[in-house]
Each structure stands twice: as C-alpha cells, then as structure tokens.
Structure 1
Amino acid sequence: MMNNYINRNIDSTKLIFFGLFFCFVQSFAQNKHQLVDKELKLLLSKEWMQGASVSFKVTSIKNKNFDYDYQSNISLTPASITKLFSTANALDKLGSNYRYETKISYSGSYQNGVLDGNLIIHGSGDPTLRLAQLDSAIAASLPDLKKITGKIVADATLYGKQTTPYKWVWEDLGNYYGAGVNSLNIDDNIYNIYLNTGNTGEKAEIVSITPKTPYLTVEADVLSGEQGTGDNSFIFSSPYSNSHIIRGTLPPNRKNFKVKGGVTDPDYHAIYMLRTTLVERGVSIGEGCIEVIYHKSKLTDLHELTSVKSIPISKIIDKTNKKSINLYAEALAKTVTIKEKNSILPDSVSKSVIDFVSSLGGSSKGIFLEDGSGLSPFGAFSASHMVDFLIGIKEKDYFEDFEKSLAKTGQSGTLKYFCRYNGAKGKILGKSGSMRRVRSYAGYIKTNNDVLVFTIIINNFSCNHKTLRKALEPLMEELSK
C-alpha cells in the first residue's frame, strides 16, 4: 500500500511539473509574440513605410511553440533570397560533388610546336572558369607550342545565344551583376572602367579599361554627384552588343574610380582574351583569328587535348549565397534545367525551381519566377513560400552544405553589416536580398532555447536601404532572444 501511495505521489508531482512547464512555455511564447508584434508595428509606423507592402513569417521548428504571421501569404518581389531556391535545387539535382568540365581539343595536326588547325574550347557553362586555368591547361598539354595556323574557337553550342533572362531590365544588362551566362564564361564576365571625376555636375572622364578589349566601345555620360552620394552609375547595353554607355552619378573629385561592367558577349570575350594571353606568351596566332561556333555540325576532326574542372557545386553555392553572385545562380539554374528538361528557356528554368520548391511540402500557388537569381523585378513569392522551403530543406541529406553557404549576422556574407552591434549578432544564418525599393531577409535564428525559421520581404519603402536595415535590427534582436 505504501509503495502505491508513493508512486501516486510521484505521478502527481510529474503532472504538476509538466503542467507548470507547459504553462511557462505558453506564457513565454505569448510574451515573445507580443514583443515581436510591438517591434513590427513600430517598423510599420515609420513615415517611410507608408505605401509599403510587407510579407513576414517566423515559426519555431525545435520547440514548435512560437509562430508569428503578418500578411505571410502576400506575394512580393523578393530579390536575391531567390538564390536560396536555385542553389538548393542544384544541390538536389546535381549533388554536392558535381564539377563543371571545360574540355579543350584541336583540329588538324600537331607536330614540332605547330598546331596546323584550330584550338577549340568547349563551353560547359562553368561560371567559375578563369583565364589563368585555361592558359595553364594548354601550356601543360602543349609545352612547346609555338604557332597556331588556324583559329581559337569557342564552342558555344551548349547555350547558343540564349544567355540573358527575358525579364531582366535594361539598366542592369551592362553592369557586372547583370552579366548573362554563356557556354563559355571567363573571370566572372567582368571588366573594369576607371574614371576621373570632377566637381559636382561635371562629366567624368574614362582613364582606362581593364582587361584591354579594343573591340568594346564604352561612352562616358556619367556626372559627378553630390558629396557623399556614392556610386549611382549604371552601364547600359544589351546582349552581344559591343557598345556600352555609362550614365548616372559618381562621387566627386575622385581619381581612378572603379566601376565594374558586365561583358555582353562572354563567348567571344573569352577566346579574345585567351588569344591575347597566348600571343603574350610567344605563340604566333594570326590577327583576328578567333571564332564562336553555335552549331555542332561545324565542329569536325576533333582531337581531345585536356580539360579544366571547376570547384565542386558545394563550394560554388557557398560563393553564390554569401556573395550573392547572379552569374553563378543563373548558371546553376541552367545546368539543372539542361539535365532535367534539355532546355534553357526561361520558362523551363523557372518551372524547374518552382517544382523543386513545391516538392518540399509547400504550395507553388503564388510563386512567380523569371530567373534563378532574383534580379528580375517581375519575380514574386511570399514569406510563407520561403519559410515552408527552409523547413523542408532541413530534412535533406545535403542540408549541411546548404547551411554552410548561408551568411551569419554581423560576421559574413550579405549579413556582415546586419545586426553587428546588437544581440542578434552571430545568431542568424541566412541571406539578404535588395534592389530598388525591395529589401528581404530569410534564414534560421538560433535563440537561447529554440530554432526559428523566418522570412521578411518589404517592397516600396521610401527611405534608403541603410535606414530600413537599421530599423529591422531591433525586430531581429527580439526574435533571437
């Protein structure tokens, strides 16, 4: 009897303990909800948020006792957090260890240091390929190369001239972040313009362009702006155009101010630069002996020479998400679609990503994608779409590689300057997105006793990005407690 009495007491104690613990957890969640609500309402009350649209959701995935929602099903322009979708899709479809391989071959014959034929570079769509890698591979395979009687040929048959998503806007196309993905890409498809600027209102002068590309014409129609206004310049061009014009404003009274441009014909640019490098190394090649081929029927009498392999996909997505490189995101999206559908049309690329996102358990209704990077202002999805995705991806065996690609607040990547000086520093893993009148954040928050998944997308605010970023920090700090 005594033992039964003791057991009943122990059971009662357990029930009381768990009851109190449940009440504490519920009270904590309610209190946190109120504090988060207070911070969000403070943000929404700002004058510069009048007319703005917000989609916000945060939910607990460890204790499952906290959830906050504000218009989370509203689809808004998300900008670069779109890259989280496309990089995860690449991990899923290609595998963490997938590497691009750029093959090099020749036609004709080779003897006594003379290549009596063409040297062909077969574009694989590798967005990370470097000119130095190609040069080293050729030098290692043909150490005594002295002359090429034919041409340096770019095999551009993989993508043809389908390079730039249809819904990218004109002001982006000539800039480094708007460089399209070609079969053959070199050094991130970037060139640099160096300019001298004068007093406010005066036109800037181009001092030099690197690398030297005589085939490219760049006109300076850019003015010196007000002191402290920064770089507000844009380079205008279009795919396959060799005419670029830079407009907008630059900081006043600066020497050799660098503006990064985007190469608009990467296949041609790559072999132009390769020919230049080989000639500088002492190889005789005729002037203008370069050619881009878009049809496989023109590639005959080939002899395999060597190849250049990229870093693994896991490392490419690390660079893609931490540095928010549009070129890499678009390349990954295209590579997946080529494998899945044998197509690189924008609609095929978008469908591949959307199908993948919905396969993780979320809904695809209300997701509108026009590219793999988020550069198009016509893309849209909601905070709920992204939160569902971030929850679903945690169950995948490649999640560790995906998680490593995320930036950390106050420390790395696109979150390096976000929450540097408050309690959320180091507690949030995620990615930011920004374009004109668009700011977004998505990722995971490690609190003292929980893990939260969150997404916030804000459109059409009227302040500058720094002001909005600072105004969001108290909300993030409250969530991280």
Structure 2
Amino acid sequence: MNTNLIKSSFLTVSKILFFSVILQFLFLQVNAQTKNKMLEGEFQKFLEHEWMKGASVSFHVKSIKGNKFEYGYDAERALTPASITKLLTTSAGLFQLGEDFRFKTKISYTGDFKDGVLDGNLIIHGGGDPTLTLLSLDSAVKASFPSLKEIKGGIIADASLYGTRTTPPNWVWEDLGNYYGVGAASLNINDNMFKLYLKTGATGAVASINKVEPHPPYLHITSEVTAGKKGTGDNSFLFSAPYSDRHIIRGTLPPHRSNFRVKGGVTDPDYHAVWLLADTLSSQGIVVSKENLKVEYQKENVPTSKVAGEINSKPLSWIINRTNKKSINLYAESIAKYVSNEKTRSIVADSITSTLLNELSTIGVTTDGIYLEDGSGLSPFDAFSASHMTSVLEKIYSAPQYKTFYNSLAVTGISGTLKYFCRNNQAKGKVHGKSGSMRRVRSYAGYIKTNGGDELAFTIIVNNFSCKSKVVRKAMEPLFDVLVK
C-alpha cells in the first residue's frame, strides 16, 4: 500500500475529527448563549408579575456534564427553602448509612413464657424506625410468642434511644398538632397519625366531631373550626404540643360536608405505640391490662430482659424514595436524628444539623452560609441559597450514591410532588426533583435532562410573593420549558 496515501488519509481523517470537535464546541457555545438569552427573557417576565413586588428569588442552573451553560439570579442569597431541605438530609443519610441500611425494632420480655402465658413484661425497644406499622408490630409479637393468650405483666416502650426529644425546637406551634408536624420518636407507629372526621354546616357555623380513628382515652380534641365559604378547601390547623393530651382544631373547612377528614399528629408516639398494641391484642381475645403500660426514657430504667424477636424496616433506599417523592417530614427527621446519633451520640438540635452539614462537606460541598434547624425543612428558620443546593446536587451527581438518590426524586407531570408541575409543556418527564412549599415560600430543586443530551442541576427559591402558591408554580413552568430545549 502507498505510504503517502496512508499518511494523506490519516491527515484527512484527523482534520475532519478536529473540525468536528471545533464545530461541536462552537455549537454548544452558541446553544448556551441562545438558551441564556431565552431564559433571561422568561425569567424577567416572571419577575415582572405584580405579586412579585417585594418578593425575593434565588435562582441557579448549570450544566453538570462540563458544558458551558450556566445562569443565575441572586444565586448566593439565602432564603427559606421549605421541603427541598430533604434533599440535604436524604443524601447525608445515604452517605452515612448506605442504601441497604434498615431500622431495627427489637422485642424482648421478662419472666417466663409458657403455654401461651407471658408471666412477665413485654418490652418493645424503639429503634427510631419511622415506617413501623401496627400490623408489623402485632405480627412480630405473635411470631415471638406463639399462641399468646395472656400477658400478666405490662407492656413497656423502651424509648431510651431518643428520650423525650421528639420535636425540633424551632418548629412553629401552628404545625405541631398536624400530621406533618409530628415528632420523630424512638418508637413510631402508623406515621404517628390519627384521623379526625367532622360534620360542617352553613358558612360560619362551628363543625362538630363525628369520630376519631384511632381514639385512645388520652386523645382529647376540641372543635373551634368553622365552615368557610362555598368553594373553599381545607384551611384548618390542629394545635397541640409535645406530650399534650389536648388538640384544638381551628380555621375553616368546606361547608355542608357530612364527614370531612382531617389528619392529625400524635404528640406522644412512644406511649401511643404500646397503647395501640395493647388495644389490638385485647381485641383479639388476648388478656392484656391497658392500665399497665409504661414508657421508659432512660436506659437504666429498662428491665433486663430476654430477646424474643426483631422487626427490620424496608431498606433506606425505599425510605428515601418515599421521603423525597411524598415529602414526609417524619421520615426526614428520623433519618437526620439517626445519622446524628450514630456519628455524635447526640440528638440535640445543633448536633443533628451540624452532622448533616459535616456529611455534605465530606463530598466537597462548601456549607458556609447554610443554616439548618431541622432535617425536613418545616422550620421557617432554615435558610440557604440556590447555589448551595446546586453545588450539593453537582457533588451527588459524581458520587456512587447518585443512582439511588436520583431514583428517589419525583418526575414532572408524572409522579410525587411534581405530578402536576409542567405536565402540559416540554418539561414533562424531563425533570427529576423535589418541591418545597409553605406560607409565602415556593421552591424546586433537582436535575433536568435537555433535548440536546445535556444534564443540568437547578434550584429556584421564591419567598414573600403576594399570591397563592399555585399561581407561582404555574408562572415558573415556562422557565423549565426553556431549560429542556
């Protein structure tokens, strides 16, 4: 073969490849500039809304595949983020505990078990599992004590893992009696939730309580909630405090409803768990004294006992998936609390939040300027910027835990808290992320796969708008339509 011909062909191919790379680079540059210009135009429209006067926005989006695209507006401004805080907590949980980690609830007893009779105490050792159900606890007790007929002693909740520190100190009173404001205890049961059914009348009339499920004797609820105007939704709040046996429901509910359901939060989860267990066993014909129930918050007060069984939760990957897709505060707080206890043997608020930040710093995140008061984002005192969160998302993208984390995120127009977001534009199915919402706060963070094959990390946080939250959500959608192009 002609040597000169080979050299000539090689040079031709090299030139073609070189110019292809140059053209691709120029295309990406032009595409980034075009997208920046389009995004700037849509973002200015967003800022010009009347309800954005006096509002604050922190917005940051950038390519995480090494391309040149990046856009920011007040990206360093720390604002109240709401539930996108859960992305920090769930990622820290993955780094510290691993995706296969399972919470454990142990069962033990004192005395002897013979012929279906437990001549001693049944002890349930809380392991901080936020997903424990009454069904699984009941089944585990039956498996540990076959043909159980009677418990002559009492049922003890070992709450020594966390003691009485269930609720972050900087949550507001308006949230504490509601299902989303329950504390994370050593022993949780059925999401620490009860259901309240009310009958509403004409506008302005006080609603009456039909029933409470479950309704233990220590749960006392007073209705001060009234019927609102026609067309209004659930604007009610349950007010209570940790370890209180009183709830007051206030606000408004839709008028003329015969059995309207409101979800409330149990304020003493450890005791509630053993009461529900005792009540269930009793309903099945097993002799149990409901008057002989106890919670021990100090390890030294828990009787020496013999192990009978154990309940393992589903893996952390499943729990994180539920946490991020459904935005469950109890799950996020339980992860944060467990991580802190594992690392520092402390669950005081400052230890929990500093542990979360330390876990993030191990993957190269600069945590200066991130202020956390909890693990779920329910506290209005949490604060960080859009650039903080995009930095976290960028670091996670390069971590081994990325796939599990990514799969836990909701998808626009399809699933979780993003099911109704961008369901009618090009961003449907292209954004994996988490939403956040509380009074005068709306936020989104996550990843975008563009039509051109790029991948972006984004965060937008808006505070103090003067319209309904759904109006802000709708006004944000054109931004994501541009970003996926």
Question: What TM-score comes out, normalization by structure 2 length?
Answer: 0.97
**Map 1:319-468 → 2, pairs under 5 A:** 319-448=322-451, 449-468=453-472
1:300 corresponds to which residue?
Answer: 303
1:126 corresponds to which residue?
Answer: 129
CA distance in 2 between partners of 1:428 and 1:13 (Å): 36
1:8 CA drift (Å): 5.7
Say which SS state the counterpart of residue 317 (structure 1) adopts.
helix
Match of 1:20 among 19, 23, 31: 23
The answer as to whether partners of 2:279 and 2:290 remain within 8 angstroms in 1 is no
- How big is the alpha-carbon RMSD for the aligned residues of Structure 1 and Structure 2? 1.4
| Deviates most, 211-220 or 259-268 | 211-220
CA distance in 1 between partners of 2:130 and 2:17 (Å): 60
Say which SS state the counterpart of residue 284 (structure 1) adopts.
coil
Matched, 1:245 2:217: no
Match of 1:100 among 95, 98, 103: 103
The answer as to whether partners of 1:63 and 1:450 remain within 8 angstroms in 2 is no
CA distance in 1 between partners of 2:338 and 2:409 (Å): 21
1:114 CA drift (Å): 1.6
| Deviates most, 57-66 or 447-456 | 57-66
Q: 1:328 to 1:287 in 2, by over 3 A?
A: closer
CA distance in 2 between partners of 1:269 and 1:253 (Å): 33
1:117 CA drift (Å): 1.2
1:365 CA drift (Å): 1.5
**Map 1:165-204 → 2, pairs under 5 A:** 165-204=168-207
Say which SS state the counterpart of residue 202 (structure 1) adopts.
coil
Paired amino acid for 1:376:
S
Say which SS state the counterpart of residue 212 (structure 1) adopts.
coil
Matched, 1:207 2:210: yes
CA distance in 1 between partners of 2:117 and 2:166 (Å): 35
The answer as to whether partners of 2:278 and 2:290 remain within 8 angstroms in 1 is no
1:476 corresponds to which residue?
Answer: 480
The answer as to whether partners of 1:442 and 1:454 remain within 8 angstroms in 2 is yes
Q: 1:270 to 1:37 in 2, by over 3 A?
A: same
Once the two structures are superposed, what CA deviation does each residue of 1:200-259 show, in whole Å capped at 9, x if it has no partner? 111111100001212110000001111222001000000000000000011111111000
The answer as to whether partners of 1:164 and 1:239 remain within 8 angstroms in 2 is yes
Match of 2:238 among 225, 229, 235: 235
Say which SS state the counterpart of residue 76 (structure 2) adopts.
coil
Paired amino acid for 2:415:
S
Say which SS state the counterpart of residue 19 (structure 1) adopts.
helix
1:307 CA drift (Å): 1.1
Paired amino acid for 1:122:
H
The answer as to whether partners of 2:189 and 2:273 remain within 8 angstroms in 1 is yes
**Map 1:282-301 → 2, pairs under 5 A:** 282-301=285-304
Identity %: 55
CA distance in 2 between partners of 1:361 and 1:473 (Å): 31
Q: Flag structure 2 segments of 5+ consecutive residues without an equivalent.
A: none
Q: Flag structure 1 segments of 5+ consecutive residues without an equivalent.
A: none
CA distance in 1 between partners of 2:340 and 2:16 (Å): 59
1:9 CA drift (Å): 5.7
Q: 1:105 to 1:37 in 2, by over 3 A?
A: same
Count of aligned pairs: 481
CA distance in 1 between partners of 2:301 and 2:28 (Å): 70
1:358 CA drift (Å): 2.6
Paired amino acid for 2:23:
L
1:143 CA drift (Å): 2.2
Paired amino acid for 1:135:
D
CA distance in 2 between partners of 1:156 and 1:433 (Å): 32
1:156 CA drift (Å): 0.6
Matched, 1:163 2:166: yes
